[in-house]
Amino acid sequence: MYKRLRELMGTTFGKYLVVGGSVYVFELLVIVIAQRLKYSDIQAIGASFWLGLIVSFFLQKLFAFKDRRMRGRILIPQILAVCLLVLFNFGFTLLVADLFKHILPPVVSRTIALGLTTIWNFYLYRTRIFVSRMPVHIE
């Protein structure tokens, strides 16, 4: 199993999935901690969402996609693009849930939406959002 994990971590997609899974666990921990601090359920979920989004953005950018550019003229458009993508994904998730509400439980429709958004998020991160257009040096 350790060998498979190492192989997975050797790819951008593997790192992307590990970051996503790790951030999910982080968000769950935030919810638990916030509830112990007497936050309401809605406050706890809100805090976990925003903290998870921030952590995910920087881990995906720096670790999974190795985009180290941090200048404002690069970072601000990336943040805006990710925020728009999150809003689109949210709308898509609600649409999938509504389309399948009579034939699938919400957990299944959410899982389907999550799978699809995971695929196109990876594509957009890799080709549009965290792409570094550095000149290639040929020797």
134: left (phi over 0), alpha (psi -120 to 50) or beta: beta
The token pair that represents 63 in the structure block: 């670790």
Assigned domain for 139 exists:
no
The predicted model scores a pTM of: 0.85
Could you tell me if 97 and 45 lie in one domain? Answer: no
The answer on 74 and 58 residing in a single domain is: no
Q: Name the residue range of residue 60's domain.
A: 1-66
DSSP letter assigned to residue 38 = T
20 shares its domain with 56: yes
Question: Backbone phi, then psi, for 113, in 5-degree steps?
Answer: -60, -40
- Give tens-digit pLDDT for 42-53: 999 999 999 999
61 belongs to a structural domain: yes
Higher pLDDT, 85 or 131: 85
**Spatial distance between the Cα atoms of 23 and 18, rounded to a whole number of angstroms:** 8
Q: 82 versus 7: which is more confidently predicted? A: 82
| Total count of domains within the chain | 2
Q: Of 12, 35, 66, which residue sits at a domain end? A: 66
Confidence of residue 134 (pLDDT cuts 50, 70, 90): low
Region 87-102: mean pLDDT is 95
Say yes or no: 76 and 58 in one domain. Answer: no
